[in-house]
Amino acid sequence: MGSPTYDYGGETVVVTGGSSGIGRAMALRYGEADATVVVADVREDPKDVSESVPTHELVEERGGEARFVETDVSDPDEVESVVAAARELGGVDVMVNNAGLFVDGDFVDISPEEFDRIFAVNARGVFFGTQAAANDMVERDEPGCVLNTASISSNLAQHGQVQYDATKGAVRMITRGAALELAERGIRVNAVAPGQIATEFVDGLTEQMEEDTRTDGFLKSIPLGRPGHAEDVAGAALFLTSEDAEYVTGELLHVDGGWQIC
C-alpha cells in the first residue's frame, strides 16, 4: 500500500490532550508534517508508561516547532488561552479537540459530580474548543479545520458506560451541528471515532487489550484481528484535516478495525 505524505508547513495545529495516547500520536504526526504544534493538556509529561519525553519536546527534537500550554479544557477561559497562544504563532489553522476523560460505573451508581465532570471535559471541552477555534478563524478571515475525537460509543451503548457514551454521542452531534453552521465560513468540522485503541487512556489498558486480543477477551471480535494503535487514529486525523478531504465535513470516521460492522 502507498504511504501518503502530508505538508502542513506554515500552519498551526492545536491538539488538546496532546501529552499522551492518541493526542500525542496526532501531535507528533502533525509535527512530522511540518506544522507548528500547540500541545494543550492538564499535564506536560506523557501518561504512557513507555514514554518519558514530553510531546512538544519530542516534536522539537525531530526538527519541528512546538509549544506546551497547560490546559483544562473543561474551563472555557483556559481553552481561549490556548487559542491566544496559537494566535501568537499565526492563528489556529487546525483545532484538534482530543482531550477526554473516561468514567465507568453502573448507571444506578453514577453521582451528579461524576456526571458533571465527564461532560465538562468530553462534551463542553469539545463545544467550546470548536467555538474558540472557529472565532479565531473567522476573525482572521481564514478557512480552517476542526477535528474532534469521538468514539464507537458515539453510536453504541455499552454496559457500565452510559455517562461516557452520552458524552461521545454529544461529540457526534456537536461535530455535525458545527459543520452545518460553519460551512458557509469555510470551516470544516469532522470527527474520528476510535474503537479499541491500545493506549493508557485507562490505566493498564494497553497491556490488557493486547492480552484480550490473544485470548478473545473482547466483547466481540475485531475483523482486522488486533486492537488499534494511536498511530492508526493519527493517520485518519491528518487525512480529515488535509486538502484531500476538502469536500468532507460533518463526517464521523470510524477507526476501529471493522468492529462496528459485525
Domains of the chain as residue ranges with CATH: 12-201+230-255 (3.40.50.720)
Residue 245 has pLDDT above 90, yes or no: yes
Please determine, for residue 198, whether its predicted confidence score (pLDDT) is greater than 90.
no
pTM, two decimals, is 0.91
- Residue 126: closest CA among 161, 163, 97, 147: 97
**pLDDT score at 219:** 52
Segment 11-22 mean pLDDT:
97
Supply the pLDDT for residue 140.
97
Q: Residues 48-52: contacts with CB within 8 Å, 24+ apart? A: 48/20, 48/21, 48/24, 48/199, 48/200, 48/206, 49/200, 49/206, 51/20, 51/24
Cβ atoms of 188 and 146 closer than 8 Å: yes
Q: Check residue 157 and give its pLDDT.
A: 84
Give percent of the chain with pLDDT exceeding 70. 92
User: Average pLDDT, stretch 38-66?
Assistant: 94
Of 2-6, 66-70, 106-110, 119-123, give the lowest mean pLDDT range: 2-6
d(Cα 85, Cα 68) in Å, to the nearest integer?
A: 10
Strand partners, 172: none
User: What pLDDT is attached to residue 15?
Assistant: 98
Q: Coil, helix or strand for 13?
A: strand
pLDDT at 217 over 50: no
What residues are annotated to the active site? Answer: 164
C-alpha grid cell, residue 181: 453552521
Q: Give me the pLDDT at residue 220, please.
A: 62
How far is the C-alpha of 6 from the C-alpha of 186, rounded, in Å?
21
Higher pLDDT, 126 or 197: 126
pLDDT, mean over the chain? 91
Contacts for 122 with CB less than 8 Å, ≥ 6 apart: 100, 101, 164, 167, 168, 170, 171
